[in-house]
A = this chain, B = another copy of it.
Amino acid sequence: MRSTMNSFTHQEIRQLCRQGKFQSPTPGFASGYVQANLVVLPKSVAFDFLLFCHRNPKPCPLLDVTEVGDAEPRMVAPGSDLRTDLPRYCVFRHGELIEEVTDIKELWRDDFVAFLIGCSFSFETALLSAGVPVRHIEEKKNVPMYKTNLSCVSAGVFSSPLVVSMRPLLPADAIRAVDITSRFPKSHGAPVHLGDESAIAISDINSPDFGDAVTIRKGEIPVFWACGVTTQTAILQAKPEIAITHAPGHMFITDMKDESF
């Protein structure tokens, strides 16, 4: 199925999601199109969350924010519907994961605001195009992610330690990766740290807090980027009455091309 699916356009994938026919992780699909993290929150905490994203653009680069009650992201995918066009959603109540669902039509409320936040897929595509290896893709794993002692700037009810993703690179590739990813501010931008992981309070590089451990080869150094999972930890800490996100890896596919970044 996947090889056929792979040839569908970004619009076709969204349509299949809407029909309940596509419920898989999105990496590798609609190649060349920007994928996004979704966060849905009630208006009562939407100002605080928008401010949190504004103050922390590296982990939370905003691609689009809907008007109150509107499920259509008019900037990045006009005509789409965020209640149905993702393969899978997580529903949190008071900071606890309650259920995973394949649409949120029944849950949607007039006071909901949807935030679409850039993810690392865009810069990973650029790294691969430039011949910089991306280990977790080579090893067919999820990227390793770690909580750090770096703090985000808090905003209202939202605060969080910075969560980072890690890709091991030879020093020359690390330099090229800094150069390349600094041109992708809407996809987390330049790294936040490289080298000694203990400097940002990661005690065991082989035991990530989220995702999978990957091989670090001789001569390679770990390179750390701000990660969108930071928004999830902020939601868990803030415990809003309700919050809905994409299920991990089940992203929203926009109309934006990677190169538009």
Contacts and interface: CB of A to CB of B under 8 A. Distances in A.
A50 B54 contact: yes
Q: Is the interface of A mostly helix, strand, loop or mixed?
A: mixed
Interface in A80-131: 113
Interface in A45-94: 46-47, 50-51, 54-55, 62, 65, 67-68, 75
Nearest to A62: B54
A136 interface: no
B67 A155 contact: yes
Which of A43, A65, A155 neighbours the largest number of chain B CB atoms within 10 Å of its CB? A65
Contacts of A46: 47
- Interface footprint category on A: 10 to 19
A182 to B, nearest CB: 15
Contacts of A67: 51, 155-156
Contact of A54 (B65, B68, B113, B153): B65
18 contacts: A43-B47, A46-B47, A47-B47, A47-B50, A47-B68, A47-B113, A50-B50, A50-B51, A50-B54, A51-B65, A51-B67, A54-B54, A54-B65, A55-B75, A67-B155, A67-B156, A68-B156, A75-B153
